Amino acid sequence: MKRILLATAVSAGLASAAAAEPVNIGVILGFTGPLESITPAMAASAEMALKEASDSGKLPGGITLNPVRADSTCIDAAAATTAAEGLVTGQNVVAIMGADCSGVTTAIATNVAVPKGVVMVSPSATSPALSSLEDNGYFFRTAPSDARQGEVLADLVSESGVTEVAVTHTNNDYGKGLADSFQAAFEAKGGKVAISAAHDDGKGDYSAEVAALQASGADTLMVLGYVDQGGRGIVQAALDTGAFEHFYFGDGMYGQSLIDAVGSEINGKVIGTLPGVEGEAADIFATLAKAHDMDPTGTYVPESYDAAALIALSMAAAGSADRTGIRDHMLDVANAPGEKIYAGELAKALDLIAQGQDIDYQGATGVELIGPGEARGSYRVYEIKDDAPVTLGYR
């Protein structure tokens, strides 16, 4: 039996006054910056989970959860740190759903969340370096590490018969980590990375970068960048010049905004990956998301729901909104043993917790937290066809 039994007595003793003051939960994502086109859906998904838990009336002492947004910018560590400081000291958040990009997530965890004892659950920070973050147990993520994504991309490239690729990656922790992971896996399969070059975001012209990549002699380009920034610029320049005809995309490149920007010339030329699952958990979440006018396949939309739901359920298991208690019960609610809980079933989960029963939160992505509190995860493989991403399968 897990520690959830301890929550019942604590919950019963909470003063009714606790219900009068909503508990603030930080939602820190890149509302501006290279992921700004996908961030609104991520935030909405997380806030849907917090509302679901609040509306149930079953949180300890009848408390409600109030999401407080802040802008991580995705790329500016100093700005992200300042925003997180405002959440923790100004808004007194008890936990943070976020951040999104790996570099700002590391900065927030190191400078704010961990020193102040505030749980972070990121839906999208995937750098392998985060697996060894000195976090005192306060950092979790519902997206898998890019150590795994690099292997999946290497498999896809090798299986297609391509033996040599050029790689371009955004010049930050996420880009370098995924590029290194892919290169190690691809070379282990006998492939060759002709060039691996960083690109900076925010430029108006990427023709020089594309020329250098083309000069490597590779016919296929791996783009590990951002859908609304340098990655898009690289792809546009490559199409404009005819430098590359075939592309592979990492998860940061997934988004309709890129397809709309570069036009139909991209059709049939891209294979990409992003975290995703199939099966019961995904099907149930799809129904829930569509009922809320939300795209269940949106980038990190399912992971955002799960990140927020885990915060709410951990709070219930702790019996209060205590920051350390939320940390200490995260793995209890996320993993077996216990009754499986899917998206839309948070009220049921909260009832079981109040009864001292174990739960095994599956959520939208079949959650299982391993090692240092990160998702085991699987990946959705897609191609761009007829001006839209089309799922090919899951790995």
Contact indicator for 47, 88 with CB cutoff of 8 Å: no
336 and 224 in a single domain? The answer is no
Provide the token pair at 65.
């959860």
Residue numbers of the domain that contains 291: 5-145+279-375
Q: For 216, which DSSP code?
A: T
Provide the token pair at 250.
């990492």
Mean predicted confidence (pLDDT) in 174-184: 97
361 and 389 in a single domain? The answer is no
Angle at the Cα of 271 from the Cα atoms of 268 and 274, rounded to 5 degrees: 140
191 and 290 in a single domain? The answer is no
**Other CB atoms closer than 10 Å to residue 352's CB: what's the count?**
21
Dihedral sign from CA coordinates of 342, 284, 29, 376: positive
Average pLDDT over all residues of the chain: 94
pLDDT for 257-295, tens place per residue?
999 999 999 999 999 999 999 999 999 999 999 999 999
128 and 37 in a single domain? The answer is yes
pLDDT for 211-240, tens place per residue?
999 999 999 999 999 999 999 999 999 999
Alpha helices in 2-159 (DSSP H): 5-12, 39-55, 77-85, 102-108, 114-116, 146-159
Helix (H, G, I), strand (E, B) or coil at 182: helix
300 and 362 in a single domain? The answer is yes
Query: What is the distance between the alpha carbons of residues 247 and 220, in angstroms, rounded to a whole number?
Result: 6
Query: What is the total count of domains within the chain?
Result: 2
Q: What is the largest CA-CA distance in the chain?
A: 69
Q: Which long-range contacts (CB under 8 A, 24 or more apart) does 183-190 make?
A: 183/150, 184/150, 185/150, 185/151, 185/153, 185/154, 185/155, 186/153, 186/154, 186/157, 186/158, 188/154, 189/154, 189/155, 189/158, 190/158, 190/163
pLDDT for 367-382, tens place per residue?
999 988 999 889 999 9
pLDDT for 6-50, tens place per residue?
443 334 333 333 344 899 999 999 999 999 999 999 999 999 999
Provide the token pair at 278.
């199939």
289 and 273 in a single domain? The answer is no
Strand partners, 145: none
136 and 182 in a single domain? The answer is no
369 and 389 in a single domain? The answer is no
200 and 345 in a single domain? The answer is no
383 and 247 in a single domain? The answer is yes
Contacts with 134 (C-beta within 8 Å, 6 or more apart), sequence order: 114
Query: What is the distance between the alpha carbons of residues 31 and 34, in angstroms, rounded to a whole number?
Result: 9
CATH at residue 285? 3.40.50.2300
361 and 326 in a single domain? The answer is yes
Dihedral sign from CA coordinates of 76, 77, 78, 83: positive
249 and 362 in a single domain? The answer is no
Specify the pTM: 0.90
